[in-house]
Structure 1
Amino acid sequence: MNQELFQISCSQVIDQALQENGIGTLSEKTIHSVLKHYYSPDTACHEQKVKNFVADILIENHIIEIQTRQFHKLRRKLEVYLPEYEVTIVYPVAHTKWLSWVNEETGEVSKPRKSPKTGVAYQIFPELYQIKDYLKDPNLHLNIISMDVEEYRLLNGWSKDKKKGSTRNDGIPVALFDEMVIVTKDDYNKLLPANLPKQFTTKDYKKAAGVPQRIATTALNILYHMNTIDRVGKQGNSFLYEVI
């Protein structure tokens, strides 16, 4: 984790975007652009053609793909890349978020308000489920990067205050909070909350990780698949798990 490089990357991308467009007309790719500069300050490595695809970053034999959601779209790339390249998927998480509303007609931007929700690394599990068949490939790695983000949304929703159903205009990174690197199967232990009991159920994982039931269920599915945990019995209708 390199705070200085992250701030330099933010300044380069955001300052240029604001000079060209201004808030309210930014593209939806600011986080993506900042992370490309963070992981490869050399722009010659950006957007490189590999086989029949374009990789976000190519550094020698290492491909880096930045993906905020919809990991299923990476399946075809992984099928082609993994036999010949090291591949790292970078997954950004908004740790702390400040939300501002943009009036498209006037260009007015509201004062930012802090979201009560805190983003966590465990959010990646539903995405990992979409590429489950590739997770055991030794050439596939993950970087879960947690950032503080200013999010701008357009006041163009269907509700009376135009907020429900509104469009996310951009997310602007302002600080780097944490970076979790998963290189080997053993590193999946990092996705186990520290306060889990020795034997635990999905409900225990949900409570320890502070995530919804659906994420907890998917998390244990993936961790079991990766041989990070094992099923050692049942508690009522629930499986009991233990760290291997």
Structure 2
Amino acid sequence: METSLHQQLKQHYAGEGDQIEVRLGDYIIDVISGDELIEVQCASLSAIRDKIRDLLSSHTVRVVKPLAARKYLVRKKARGNKVLSARYSPTRQTWIDVFDELVHFVTVFPHESLILEIAMVELEEHRVPMKRKGWRKKDYRTTDRFLKEVTETRQLRTAHDLWDLLPETPTGQFTTAELAKAVKVPRWNAQKIAYCLRETGCIQLIGKRGKALLYEYSSPVCSQPKPKAA
């Protein structure tokens, strides 16, 4: 089911004269803006990986991935529209969170015809109570999400742009432990970041330090996106 957030972002990115929800071959395209296809992906990037790969063979594509910089939580009764509570979530996503998505998208990004645009948004999320069952940890179900504001955007075109997302970067040769310390994230998160940087050619594996894999920055490769498919 399409969320209000997805609908609103399509409207946000569609300019005057642009087409929304247009069939192109086997696919429905969110927005066609001149020669550019725009796909808004609120769910996992892995869900559109094959679609984007196909489209890149003959089109320029911009994939818009929203991250929740701030989230207003509205809890309602399961029936009716009565609001039980409303508050801002203490959890905020940052640019680093895009690496959680990129681990499923590095076979497509970077590409000379692809722009990956990260949109920091403030959104409102509506929830209704739900009983926990089995493995389920949540005691609620999200019914819809609404866009309040797009606060900032960044466009990623090359692997070097991924390196620039890091608030601090290790110098010289480094392990994922040192990357985690520089970026101020848990090591398991740094391992995801290192995987994305390695697969896109931004860093290269050069050996080991003890039992830890050792990496170094690879700027010449890092600045070059994958060539357009024939």
Query: Which category of TM-score, normalised to the shorter sequence, fits these structures?
Result: 0.7 to 0.9
What residue is the counterpart of 2:64 in the other structure? 90
- The verdict on how the C-alpha distance between 1:239 and 1:124 changes in structure 2, with shifts beyond 3 A counting, is same
Select 1:156's aligned residue among 130, 149, 157.
Answer: 130
In the alignment, is residue 123 of structure 1 matched against residue 130 of structure 2? Answer: no
CA distance in 1, matches of 2:15, 2:140: 34
Deviation at 1:157, TM superposition (A): 3.3
In the alignment, is residue 65 of structure 1 matched against residue 39 of structure 2? Answer: yes
Offset from partner CA, 1:176-217 (integer Å, 9 cap, x none)? 332111123332222223254444322233344344444321
What is the aligned length? 215
Question: How many percent of aligned residue pairs carry the same amino acid?
Answer: 27
Q: Is the 8 A contact 1:94 1:148 kept in 2?
A: yes
CA distance in 2, matches of 1:77, 1:137: 14
Unaligned runs of 5+ in 2: 219-230
In the alignment, is residue 29 of structure 1 matched against residue 9 of structure 2? Answer: no
TM-score, scaled to structure 1: 0.77
1:211-222 → structure 2 map (5 Å cutoff): 211-222=185-196
What residue is the counterpart of 1:7 in the other structure? none
Segments of 4+ moved more than 6 angstroms: none
- The verdict on how the C-alpha distance between 1:212 and 1:28 changes in structure 2, with shifts beyond 3 A counting, is farther
Q: Is the 8 A contact 1:122 1:215 kept in 2?
A: no
What is the SS of the residue equivalent to 1:200? coil
- The verdict on how the C-alpha distance between 1:168 and 1:210 changes in structure 2, with shifts beyond 3 A counting, is farther
Give the superposed CA RMSD.
Answer: 2.4
Offset from partner CA, 1:145-172 (integer Å, 9 cap, x none)? 111222211112337xxx9342111222
Considering fraction of residues, name the structure with more helix.
1
TM-score, scaled to structure 2: 0.81
Q: Is the 8 A contact 2:18 2:34 kept in 1?
A: no
Select 2:21's aligned residue among 41, 47, 53.
Answer: 47
- The verdict on how the C-alpha distance between 1:112 and 1:197 changes in structure 2, with shifts beyond 3 A counting, is farther
In the alignment, is residue 137 of structure 1 matched against residue 111 of structure 2? Answer: yes
Q: Is the 8 A contact 2:129 2:139 kept in 1?
A: no
Paired amino acid for 1:185 = A
Unaligned runs of 5+ in 1: 1-26
